[in-house]
Every structure is written in C-alpha cells, then in structure tokens.
Structure 1
C-alpha cells in the first residue's frame, strides 16, 4: 500500500472541511484469496476463472468489501486516524475491481459537529479515473480535550 500522508491522527480540533487523505493498493490474487478465507465468502466470481468468465463481468473480480476496507484504512490510519470510532458507512458499488488493479481510496471531510465530535466524510475508491465505490461515513473523531 502506498499512502499520500504519514499515518497518525488529526484531532477534531485540527480538522477542516475539505481535508482529504488517500492510499493506493494493488489488489492481488492473494488478497482476494485471503479475503475469501477471512470473510467466508467463496463466491466463484472471485475465485474461479471458468465460472467468472461466464458472468456479466467476463472475468474474476475482487470482493467489493475488500476495496471498501481500504476506506476504513484511510479513516483509521490517516483521517481522522488513530482513535477514530466508526459510526456508519454507506457504499454504492459502481464498477468492478479486478486482480492487478490499483485501487485509490480517498476520504474527504464534508462536515464537522464539534459538540458531538462527529465528522462526516465523503468516501470513494477509484481504479484510474473510474470510480468503483462511492459513499459517506460518519465517525467520532479523537479529541485532545
């Protein structure tokens, strides 16, 4: 994984609307196999070339939640970072991710409620210029106080 910023924490008091962080990861066959084991989702569209070639995708695709997990990595490691508590996440899967694709997960602050420590984040993943996931997350941000 490559990150545009050093992992850590941006405290609630330092957050600003418009702040954004991202990371990039090439999704490998091993990632897909490991995700299948951990999640117990062994759908053959992810694991079997012959099966997947006969589907609308014309080949194997990664689990959508594998790419969505990269959003969690950005939130937990960068923005806001360590100490963040996930409250909710909406996701819309708009295109497949294939083995070998480089996925860029990006998180952007869209609203801050300091009294409740709640932060709303626009979230998306892309392969090149193609958005593969878009959504929104709500989190409790760590605070100095």
Structure 2
C-alpha cells in the first residue's frame, strides 16, 4: 500500500498582511480583529490576528500537494482553534496518517490527524481530516 499509518508531511508559511488582505478579498471576512489595528489593540489579543480558516487552509495545502497529494479530495475536516495566529507568525501545518482503508469502488480513504503550530512550537489548530485518494491518471500538473 502506498500510504501507511504514521506517514507525515508538513508545509510552512509566514502569515503576512498580504495573505490576510487576499483572504478578505476572496471571502469577505472583514472582522476588525483581522483588519483594524486600533480595534484589535483594544481586544483580548492586543493586536491583529489572522482568520482561523486562513491558517487552517495551510492544512489543505499539505493534503493537496504532499500527503496524499495530487488526487486527494476532502471528505471532512474537524478543527479546534487553540491559540491565535498573529500577522508575522510562521505556521507549520502537518498531516499524519492515522488510518488507511481501500474502497470497493477503488481508491483509498485516509484519516489524517491535522495540526498547525507556530514558530514557538505552540499548537494553534488541531483536528482530523478524512480524504479520498485516487491515483491520478494522465498528465500530472
């Protein structure tokens, strides 16, 4: 079998003003905690934070490009937001294979532990993904 329990992959990115601005443009989340420094300064966080779903999107990058990679389709994802991510934080998203099963119709279903950690090694997000994987056919991107 191509994947086994314990297989692991990660992706790291520093969350910038540009990421937040592009996310706002894409989905319209203009919560002042994300876009208004003066407002955020008076909040419990003391400064602007990135949207949790923006940060969780790094998990999608791992799944779609590394583990299992091309041919992966999300079936589900749970998320627990544990700590804020501040602009300038470097986040490492990781997926770890928890279970693999073959489908009668072909392909595999992988259950993955998913997590995001900041540059201090603090876990900011954790969850579990279930992913359908079918071996790509034809030309790979």
Match of 1:139 in 2: 131
Alpha-carbon separation, structure 2, partners of 1:134 and 1:26: 18
Determine if the alignment matches structure 1 residue 118 to structure 2 residue 109: yes
Task: After TM superposition, give the deviation of residue 141 of structure 1 in Å.
Answer: 1.2
Alpha-carbon separation, structure 2, partners of 1:143 and 1:33: 35
**Which of residues 119, 122, 131 is equivalent to 1:130?**
122
Structure 1 segments (4+ residues) deviating >6 Å? none
Alpha-carbon separation, structure 2, partners of 1:144 and 1:16: 19
Corresponding pairs, count: 133
Match of 1:42 in 2: 30
Q: Which moved more, 1:110-119 or 1:87-96?
A: 110-119
Task: After TM superposition, give the deviation of residue 86 of structure 1 in Å.
Answer: 0.5
TM normalised by structure 1 equals 0.88
Gaps of 5+ in 1: 1-12
Task: After TM superposition, give the deviation of residue 131 of structure 1 in Å.
Answer: 0.2
